[in-house]
Structure 1
Amino acid sequence: MFEVLKSSWALLLGMALLMVGNGLQGSLIGVRGGIEGFTTFELSLITSGYFLGFLGGSRMAPNFIQRVGHVRVFAALASFISAALILYPAVTNPVAWMFLRVVIGFCLSGVYVTAESWLNNAASNETRGQALSLYMIVQMAGVVAAQGLLNVADPAGYILFVIPSVLVSISFAPILLSVTPTPAFGSTRQLSFRDLYKISPLGVVGMLMLGGVFSAQFGMSAVYGTEAGFSVAQISVFVSSIFVGAMVLQFPIGWLSDRIDRRMLILGVSAVATLAALVAWQFGMNFPVLLACAFVIGGMTNPLYALLIAYTNDYLDADDMAGASGGLLFINGLGAIAGPVLTGWLMTHFGAQGFWLIIMATMLATTLYAVFRMTRRQSAYADEGEYEAVPYAAVGPGSTPFIAEVAQEVWVEAAEEIAESSEGEEDESSS
């Protein structure tokens, strides 16, 4: 781990600042939108705009990088992000804000792809898994730290929009000044949705449901807090609790993932998230209970992302893993675009508590579908005396296709080691 920090600290510092800036503007939009009198449904469309831009940018950024190079892409996208962040308080119109969110989502996804490619290039085959874990921790810590900045100035003013703009601008310095050489950028063939569904129906359906949950957590949690009448300080603590849960429980769930049937774990974490959402729906006015529920939901749903990819990998050859990752991320992105709209519609008709209804419904659907799939086919390792799956690798919702492919490299290397080990044991037994 120390070796990874020594070689990649500048990149990780830049990504931390970037996540603080992005996390702050994500929550600030919900609070300021309420102050400006935007309806819940308008705010849900604004939130969806971010994920629409993110999905498009993550698919187009590799082409831009191949054409003009990492540095130019970085500089161009950074300029647009800074301009968009400053424009929010100057143009307080829902349509303008939705356009700005699309632009920010598009540009940030491109920035993530660029920075992540540098991070991957700085890691060796032996340290790539550790680099991925550190990157995951940096992402979550950045979003959590961002919530504290909500309290340093009045959301109705201008300062809180300047802060993320400055942080995002500063974040590029350690990345661009890093001595890490510019990496080559390749493309991966993506499996068709039909083939992907045939390989892992639970992986596809789970990813679609999870996309809606994650976008609600990231984009609509501050809107929920505003609608529920929470103070800015309470909103910041509430949003933080979701991502603290994700950071704390990511690795324990990953540890379990390598030791028990992943379908049972998917079913279990989905059921726990469903129950936590039900409790929050019934007792949402009790703030300590609400924080506990948010912690549990964040801790269950965020690791579920990597868990679903790892489960799908259990049915794949090493050569198909990267292509499957791209397809699963696209499906997750579609769910993320739809999630805020559905959440906004429910909150419009059922009040603030509609926020918990969408989480409860999607996680319940995932739980029931996991039960159904367990009746349709055996586990990938049902015939083996000992459960030996491709190891879990930490990667969270909101990841770009590039970082998912980095995770897949870890999975592929592990799968090849398992295959070689199995072949060696067979040779020894035959001799």
Structure 2
Amino acid sequence: MSRNLLPVMALLLGTLFLFLGNGLHGLLLPVRGAAEGYSNEVLGLLGTTWASGFVLGCFVAPQLVMRVGHVRAFSAFVSLISVTALLTGILVDSYWWVALRIITGFCTAGTSMIIESWLNERATNESRGMIFSFYISITLIGVVGGQMLVGVFDPLTSILFMICGIVYGIAVLPTLMSKAATPQPLNSITLDLPLLYRNSPVSFVGILLVGIANGAYGTLGAVFGARAGLDAGTIAILLSITIFLGAVMQFPAGKLSDRIDRRYVLAALALMASLAALVLFVFAPTDPLQIFIFVGIYGAAANALYPIAVAHANDFAKSDEFVKVSGGLLLLFGIGTIIGPTIGGPVMTAAGPYALFAVTAIAHLSITAYALYRSRLRAAIPAEDRENMPNLPLSASPMSTPESLTLDPRAAPLEETVEATEDDERAEERV
């Protein structure tokens, strides 16, 4: 294991600090914003604009990387993230924060694509799954660690914004000092959303709805905690619990979906998430322990949906279409992440903080209903004809980029995908 990880250890160390900053800054803004009296709509826009910048970065950032190179682009992206983190501490203003989150999302997409392409360059077919799993674990540790820092220092002061800038500054150092060869140009994925829907309607609709629910809770969960009277440290624990339990749920949910129709697993998990959300919305518990219990159940179920939906889509896809299909689903997830906070903010203003869970409950109940409906129209692929879903906590990471898909052991090596595509084109020409 160490032999495979040593060549990318510097890169993974930089990744740890990068996501440590992402976790801290992502939670600090809504907590501080709620304390400053910003409206739910504005706080929701912090997530909407970040997701918009991230999706835009997935399309535009590769061109910038190709122009100036991986190391220079990575340094530029991290520097911009560091500057925007410091500016949010200086310019404590809702309009500035919303605008700056677009830059942060864009640069986060750029840094993630560079890291993932670099890891893919160093990975072999034998070590790909291990490196990808370790990478996702690093992002989880970073995000949770950053969130926990919010409870250590007073979010009403500027010290946490300064710590963000410092952490981001450290993140760039291991990569700059690394002797590892820079990776090949970033991969380009052609997206075909109508093809995605024909391939798997449940995954298409389900991923969009998962994005709406996760985007709403991921952005406004801290706002809910603040409006419900929880302090900053308790809010950090609350959000970390959902990430941790979501990661734990990956293994049993994935194994179950390998044995029975994945749509039934999606329906059951979405129903579990919706029931937990409805309890929070209807009964509005004020005891932190009760909130922890039901939010924990919600997070465990909700965060296990994404990888199962992706695996279901790939059950019906050709072996050389994994990256293309998963990349399209990633775009749908990003679109949903933009929609979720936009809806959640006004709903919370109109019906109170617990109404956030009404939004997520509607999304998850829709997944349950549609998955059960589609299971009556299309037979499942027999379990023996499906690839087992690896135990990779995909949904527990923040948002992945198309580059991460080539790291997944389910993806064919890039050269094989290219050869398969060329063979298909030659076959079509002969016809």
TM-score with structure 1 setting the length: 0.91
Distance 1:94 1:357 in 2: 26
Kept in 2: contact 1:210–1:305 (CA 8 A): yes
Does the C-alpha gap of structure 1 residues 284 and 60 become closer, same or farther in structure 2, counting only changes over 3 Å?
farther
Distance verdict in 2 for CA 1:199–1:101, change over 3 Å: same
Q: 1:2 to 1:272 in 2, by over 3 A?
A: farther
Opposite residue 391 of structure 1, the aligned amino acid is: N
Which amino acid letter does the alignment assign opposite residue 402 of structure 1?
E
Deviation at 1:186, TM superposition (A): 4.4
Find the counterpart in structure 2 of residue 95 from structure 1.
Answer: 95
Q: What runs of 5+ residues in structure 1 fail to find an aligned partner?
A: 417-431
Instruction: Read off the aligned partner of 2:122 and give its amino acid letter.
Output: A
Aligned-pair distance for 1:260? 2.5
Residue equivalent to 1:390: 387
SS at match of 1:165: helix
Q: Percent identity?
A: 35
Superposed, 1:188-267 pairs within 5 Å as 188-267=188-267
CA distance in 1, matches of 2:255, 2:264: 14
1:304 aligns with 305
Q: Which runs of 4+ in 1 moved over 4 A?
A: none
Q: 2:294 maps to what in 1? A: 293
Letter in 1 for 2:206: G
Say if 1:191 and 1:75 are closer, same or farther in 2 by CA, change over 3 A: closer
Instruction: After TM superposition, list the pairs within 5 Å mapping 1:16-415 onto structure 2.
Output: 16-281=16-281, 282-381=283-382, 386-393=383-390, 394=392, 395-396=394-395, 398-407=399-408, 410-412=410-412
Residues 50-59 or 186-195, more deviating: 186-195
Distance change (3 Å), C-alpha of 1:392 and 1:188: farther
User: In structure 1, how many angstroms separate the alpha carbons of the residues matched to 2:214 and 2:309?
Assistant: 14
> In structure 1, what residue type is equivalent to 2:402?
P
The equivalent residue for 2:7 is 7
Any conservation in 2 of the 1:21–1:164 contact (CA below 8 Å)? Answer: yes
Kept in 2: contact 1:34–1:226 (CA 8 A): yes
- Give me the whole-angstrom Cα distance separating, in 2, the residues matched to 1:405 and 1:106: 21
- Would you say how many aligned residue pairs link Structure 1 and Structure 2? 409
Is the alpha carbon distance of 1:77 and 1:186 closer, same or farther for their aligned partners in structure 2, counting shifts above 3 Å?
closer
Structure 1 distance, partners of 2:59, 2:254, is 28
List per-residue Cα deviations over 1:326-358 (Å, max 9, x = no partner): 211111111000111111011011101011111
Change (3 A) 1:189 1:100: closer
Change (3 A) 1:254 1:294: same
Q: Deviations over 1:65-121 (max 9, x none)?
A: 122210111121122111101111221222211110000010111011111111222
Query: How many angstroms apart in 2 are the aligned matches of 1:363 and 1:3?
Result: 43
Instruction: Give the gaps of 5 or more residues in structure 2.
Output: 417-431
User: What is the aligned-residue RMSD (CA, Å)?
Assistant: 1.7
One-letter amino acid of the counterpart of residue 392, structure 1: M
For 2:264 and 2:242, locate their aligned partners in 1 and report how far apart those are by CA, in whole Å: 23
TM superposition shift of 1:14: 1.6
In the alignment, residue 407 of structure 2 is paired with which amino acid?
V
Aligned-partner Cα distance in 2 for 1:81–1:173:
14
Aligned to 1:425: none
Relative to structure 2, which stretch is displaced further, 39-48 or 58-67? 58-67
- CA displacement 1:279-320 (0-9 Å, x = unmatched): 222253232122122222222222321111111000011122
Q: Distance in 1 between matches of 2:72 and 2:165?
A: 19
Give the TM-score taking structure 2 as reference length: 0.91
